[in-house]
Each structure stands twice: as C-alpha cells, then as structure tokens.
Chains A and B, each alone.
Chain A
Amino acid sequence: MRQEQAYLEAFDSYSDALYRHCFFRVSDPERARDLVSDTFVRTWDYLVKGNTIEDFKPFLYRTLSNLIIDEYRKKRSESLDALLDEQSVPESAFEELVEGGREELEFALDAKRVPQLLKRMPEGYREVVIMRYLDGLMPAEIANIIDESVNVVSVRIHRGIAWLAKHAKELES
C-alpha cells in the first residue's frame, strides 16, 4: 500500500484515540489537539525522509508520547522518573500482567469521576494506565512505545490501578 494512503488511513483510524489519550495527559483540549496535529506532521516528516512505517499505531503513540514528555519537560524541571521508583518492586510479582492476563481489582468507578481521577494520577502511572485501558494497548506494545521494559510497564500499570482504587474509594467515602 502506498505510504500516503496508509498515512491518511492512520489519521482516520487513530486521530480520535490519540486525542483522547493526549487529552487526559495534558488536561488541555487545545494543547491536546495541537500535539495530535504535531504528531501527524512529524510522522509525515519521517516518511518524507524516505523511511517507511509498517504499523502506524505504535509509531504514532510513540511520537505523541515523546511530544507529551517534551511538553512536561517544558513545564517542570524535575525528572518524571523521580516520581517513581520501580526498582523496589520485584519484577516477578507482575508476570501475569506481562502475559496479558489482568489482576482484577474489584471497585466501582463513578464515570463522572474518572476524568478527574486520571487528572490527579501521577504522570508516570497515568501514561501507562491511559495506554493500557483507554487505548487498549498491551503491556508489550506500551513498553515498545515508551522505551521501557515490559516489566516496568506492568509494574506501573499495577500501581496505577492500585492508586485508582484507593482514590476512588476515598472519593466515595
């Protein structure tokens, strides 16, 4: 298939999902739109340089993630990594997540509260939680996009869900 066509089809298929993803990560509709637009411009630039893209979805997410991180770097000086210390978590504890199976956490989310909760969630968790649950990406795909190991991604997802459960309950009470 021609790259031009594939590119436009990718726009049609993923622009909404990318926007939603971006919306919950930057909390600014306008900025989110710009970032999605920039994502596609950069992707096109990549194609213009003579590269080919087999699968647009991970490429687009990766590009968007990088742009979002740039955005954060502009805003805050401290490293995002400081928010997390995954090293203390035994990687083996999350093998089921790696396999694609999910550890079910039983708690009810109030639909109205979800956006609010996502906004408050620490960025390190938010990124992966959004990718996993909003965009429906598998941990392996997320790992590929954010250049982390699958285990690290799984840990973050798990922690993110735990955080969500805790705060959802807090909000209820």
Chain B
Amino acid sequence: MNGIEKQIKNATEHIALTDTEKRVMRERLVSYMAYKPIRTSAAQRSGYRRHHPVLSFFRAAHLSGALVIALVVTSSTFGVSLAATNALPGDILYPVKVNINEEVKSALLTSDKDRIEWDRQRAELRLSEASQLAAEGRLNPARQEEVSRRFAQHTEAVVNSVLAVEKKDPVLAAEVSTEFEASLDTHEAVLARLIVEQNDIPDEGARDLVEQVRSAALEAGKIREDAEEKIAVNQTEDTKQVDTVDGTQDVADDTEDTAPKDSANLRERAVYQVQERATANLKEAETRLAALDAESELTSQATAQIASGKALMEEGAKDIDTHQLADAYGAYRRAAAAFQKVAQLLQMAVLFSIEIYPDVVSTTSEDVATGTNTTVGDEGTYDETTLMSMRDQAQAAIQETQTLLLTQEGYEKDVVSRANSLLKDAAANVLRGEIAMVLGENKDASKRFDTAHSHALRAKDILTTASERDTDVTGVTIDTPSEPDAASTTEGTTTAPVFTLVHSYATGTHTYTGEVTVENPCSDVVATSSVASSSPEEITLMLTTATSSDNGVTCTPEATSRPFSVSAAAAEDAVLAEVTLDGTPRTWDVVALATTTELLGEDVNTPADDSPSLLRRAIETTEDLLHQ
C-alpha cells in the first residue's frame, strides 16, 4: 500500500462533479452526439465533409442556404438539436428531432426494458405533439397524417418487442402494457377534448387519430391480459393453491411440481412490482395535485380519485395478507393505473389549460378477478339502440345545460368555468363514446355516454345551486338581458320556457309584470324582488310557486296561468339581472312599456309570438299600479 497515494486520494476524493452538473453535461453530450452523429459511409468521409461537419449536417437535412447561415450564427454548439427537441410536426427542425435526436437515443439503449420504454415514450410523444398542435389550432390533415404514421410505427415497435419478451418476462410485458394502456387512455381523452374545444380542426382526421389511439389502447389491453394470464394472476388456480396451504398434507404434493411454484414466484414478483408502481404513481399524483389550485373541480375529482386508489391499495394489502395474490395484483394494478391517469391529467391541465376528469375507478374487484364470462353477458345488453338513446340523452343534457349557461347572466366566473369544463368534458366523452361504438366497444361506449350524462348533469347542478346561493350578485359584469341563443334552443331540447316580462318605470320604481304557468289551480305565485347596489343597479326577481293549503279542495293537476306583478325601487338605469322561479334561473324577454300614452294608444312593442291575453292582462295590471 502506498502511503502517499492513499493520502492524496483520501484528501481529494470529495472533489467531484455534482450529480446535477454531471447530468447536465451528459445531456448536452447526448444532444451533441445527436447533432453530430457518427456516419460511417465512405461518402461522409470525404475531405470536404470532414472539415465541415456542421454544413454537411444541414445539407443532409435539406435546408436552404440562408437558413443554414441563420442557424449557424444564432445557435450555440448544442443549440440546434436542443431547439429541435421542442419541434412539432411541420416545423423545420422536426425531422432533426425524430430522425436524429430520437434515433440516436434508440441506438444507445441496450436492455429490452429500456428500449420498449423508449418506444412507448416515443409513441406518447407523438400524441403529445398532436395535442400541442390541436391546442394551437395547427393540427391540419398533413400534420395529423404525419403524427398518425409515426405513432403507428412506434406502437408497432412497442407491441412487437412486448410480444417478444412476453414469454421470457411476462411481468415486464404486463407492466409495460398496463402503463401504455393507461397513458393511451389519457391521450385519447386529451385529444378528444381538444377536438371538442377547437371546432376549426378538420374533424375527420382528428377523429381518426382518436380512433387510432383507442385501438392501440385496446391492443395494449389485450397484451396485458395475455401477459397476466401467463403470470397466472387471472387464474383461480391461485386461490386453490392458497387453500392447500392450510391443508398441510397437500403442500408437499404441490412443491414437487415445479410449474406452479414458478408461476407462484412470477405472481409474487408481479404483485411486488405493481405495488411499487402504485406507490410511485401515487406519489407523483399527489405531488402534481399539491402544485395546483386547491379550489377547482379537477382537484376535487382528482382528490376523490386518489382516495379511491388508496382504498384499492389497502384492499390489495389485505389480499396479500390473506395470500390472495391474484386479487392483490388486480387491486394494485387498478390503483397504479388510476394514479397514473390522475398524474397525467393534472399534467395536461397545466400544459393545455384543460380540465379532464378521471374516470371513476370502481373499488370492487369485478373486472379483474372474475374473468370473462360476466363481461360477455354484459356486452349483450349494450345493443346499438340502447347506446344511441344513451348518447341522445347525454347530448340532450349537455345542450340543456349549455343553454342555461349561455342564456343566463350573472354567474360567478368560477361557476361558469367549472360548468364549462364539465360540459366540454361531457362533450369529449360523447365523442369518445361514438368512437368506441365505431370500434364495436359497446361496453366502453356505454360507460362514456354515462360519464357524459353525469358530467352534464353535474354542470347543471352547479349552475342551479350557484343561482340559488347568489341572488344578490355583485361585481359581475351584467349585460342587458340576453336573447336566448337561437341555435341552442331549437334542437328540440327541453329548455325552460322563456318568460315575457312587461317592464315599466315611473319615479324611481321599476315594475315587471308577467305570468307563470303553475301545475294546478291551487298553486299561486309570490313574486319578490331585490336590488343589488352595483352600478348600474341590478334587479333580481324571485318567483315562488306556493300551493295554498285549503283542505277539501281537490287540485287536479292542470296547468294554469298565474299573473304576477312586482316592483323594485331603483334608479332608472337599473338593469334586470336575474329571474328565478323556485330558485332556478330562468330566461326572459323584456317588453318595454315606456309611457302611459303609448300604453293607452296600444302602441306597444308586441312580442311576436306571445299570446294577446298575457299582454292585455299585463297592461291592465300596470294601469292599476300606475293609478294607485
């Protein structure tokens, strides 16, 4: 042992690059390698190219001379390929990204796992690019075509390599395909949502892309099931074997046979890995959630989702305790997938400012452990007619809520955005349901339509509760009462009928007169008003139907008109901000009744489609009021 050497070593050991420095340096070198790849063909070794590697690189990429100069001047050594990492299909540097940067990385990976993982990431990268383009409104058919082609290529690579390792390592195959499946699901949701959001995207191609993603997810799902079968997590044999542990006699018999032992080992490994993944995914989902604003609909849904994922994990832990490895695997797998989706959706929310809500995970273990027989039975109930009516129902609910949102003023910004997000999510789910139907995935389609329906209803709920709570709206910009949106009401939906109010103003008092249809002759209408002291002042009319408690009178249900008149003390420029009937915001039309002269001369702006009786009664009531 050499004293000096040892002493010097000990004294200097602590001098090293930090992990970050090392990582940054390594990344730069990898980029540099991508930017200046080793070419082995004889042509590339010609003297000219040797002395101008940068030029030859650009010539290879078919760029114009002027551009080459511009890029050489403006980019640092690593600049080009680094810049390329953010390129999107159709961008000049996109070929650099996919053909050079990414290929170099592929070439450098040696293990099966790394390579599959990278192909998977590349497939997902293509979808992220499509989403980015869609979000920017730049997803034209040519770009979509490019994305589709490359996505198909990478997906095929993933599928092939997973199939290749499946026999050797079914646990890896199951893991990769589970993750792929879950993230394809997310990407599908994001794309569908962005299509819904950007109406100017040519629908056909974009829809095709969503369909392609769905098909890939289905394929990944099938591979996962196959792999799981190989691990035998899906087989009841597992429970049998566990049972024999208690009956000590059988254990010896079982251990002689090596095959079940192997598969038991596989199962243990699979459970262990999926458990680790679930924990890691949970951590990521929680980190992402913590970074978000605590108040949104998305965070509350994500929180709920994380909670049910945790419940699944607990279930899994119990299953492990009772040696129900198959159930444990199923529970952990679904928990892991749920967390993964939450994390991805939260990420997307930040990237594209869109809120997509995670699908509800069931905490019962039906879809994993019980095998295929129940699913077949279920599939039968989702015939096309049922699905179509589910679709229509969801669509109707969306339109109804949309109408509510469009025609009603005075909601708080927060309420509007929450309802809007839910509605868009519902619409995206309808789109996904339709696509699932095209693919013959009827069960899936029904789930989508169901989600769409419930989201639309939830949005409606939010709007209704909001208007109940905030009758005294202040600080919200109120336009003059809007015309009901013709486009959204003509679709044959069950829109709340429009009120016609006759309005007059005299010496500090606004008077509104109209009539309400009640369900039976015993019901009456009580009208009250409130005035918010904003500028201009805002008047809210609250109409409440009340059934008189006169016993002995039989009230046969029969729609009856009840007139009402209500006045509010406010300045002349006050506006009517809201009209509610039993707490529900309603849309209205105002007929101005400016002066008594006009009124007497019956020179009134007659609403085109209104009944004369209503108007007459309104005028009479107004006259009464004026004469008091």
Residue among A8, A33, A106, A111 making CB contact with B29, cutoff 8 Å: A8
User: Which residues of B in the span 97-115 have a Cβ within 8 Å of any Cβ on A?
Assistant: 104, 107-108, 110
Q: Quick one: given A4-B104, A109-B8, are A33 and B110 in contact (CB under 8 Å)?
A: no
B22 touches A (CB below 8 Å):
yes
Residue among A37, A48, A113 making CB contact with B53, cutoff 8 Å: A48
A80 touches B (CB below 8 Å):
no
A47 touches B7 (CB 8 A): no
**CB of B318, distance to nearest CB on chain A (Å):** 43
B25 touches A109 (CB 8 A): no
User: Which residues of A in the span 7-58 have a Cβ within 8 Å of any Cβ on B?
Assistant: 7-8, 11-12, 15-16, 19-20, 23-24, 33, 36-37, 40-41, 44-45, 47-50
Q: Once bound together, how far apart are the Cα atoms of A15 and B16, in whole Å?
A: 9
Q: Quick one: given A19-B17, A45-B36, A50-B45, are A133 and B26 in contact (CB under 8 Å)?
A: no
Residue among A5, A104, A133 making CB contact with B110, cutoff 8 Å: A5
B25 touches A104 (CB 8 A): no
Q: Once bound together, how far apart are the Cα atoms of A105 and B28, in whole Å?
A: 43
B8 touches A134 (CB 8 A): yes
Q: Which residues of A contact B7 (CB under 8 A)?
A: 108-109, 111, 114
B2 touches A (CB below 8 Å):
yes
B11 touches A40 (CB 8 A): no
**CB of A128, distance to nearest CB on chain B (Å):** 13
User: Which residues of A in the span 106-138 have a Cβ within 8 Å of any Cβ on B?
Assistant: 106, 108-109, 111-115, 118, 129, 132-134, 136
User: Which residues of A in the span 85-106 have a Cβ within 8 Å of any Cβ on B?
Assistant: 102, 104-106
Q: How many residues of A contact B (CB 8 A)?
A: 44
Q: Which residues of A contact B12 (CB under 8 A)?
A: 20, 24, 114-115, 118, 134
Q: Which residues of B contact A24 (CB under 8 A)?
A: 12, 15
B38 touches A (CB below 8 Å):
yes
Q: Once bound together, how far apart are the Cα atoms of A119 and B12, in whole Å?
A: 12
User: Which residues of B in the span 4-49 have a Cβ within 8 Å of any Cβ on A?
Assistant: 4-5, 7-12, 15-17, 21-22, 25-26, 28-30, 32-33, 36-40, 44-45
B3 touches A19 (CB 8 A): no
A149 touches B (CB below 8 Å):
no
A161 touches B (CB below 8 Å):
yes
Q: Once bound together, how far apart are the Cα atoms of A113 and B25, in whole Å?
A: 30
**CB of B46, distance to nearest CB on chain A (Å):** 10
A33 touches B4 (CB 8 A): no
Q: Which residues of B contact A164 (CB under 8 A)?
A: 4
Binary contact track B75-112/A, C-beta < 8 Å → 1, others 0: 00100000000000000000000000000100110100
A111 touches B5 (CB 8 A): no
**Residue positions of A touching B, CB distance < 8 A:** 2-5, 7-8, 11-12, 15-16, 19-20, 23-24, 33, 36-37, 40-41, 44-45, 47-50, 102, 104-106, 108-109, 111-115, 118, 129, 132-134, 136, 161, 164
**Residue positions of B touching A, CB distance < 8 A:** 2-5, 7-12, 15-17, 21-22, 25-26, 28-30, 32-33, 36-40, 44-45, 50, 53, 77, 104, 107-108, 110
Q: Which 5 A-B pairs have the closest CB atoms?
A: A114-B11, A111-B11, A109-B7, A133-B8, A16-B16
7 contacts between A and B (CB under 8 A): A4-B104, A23-B15, A44-B29, A50-B44, A109-B8, A114-B8, A129-B8
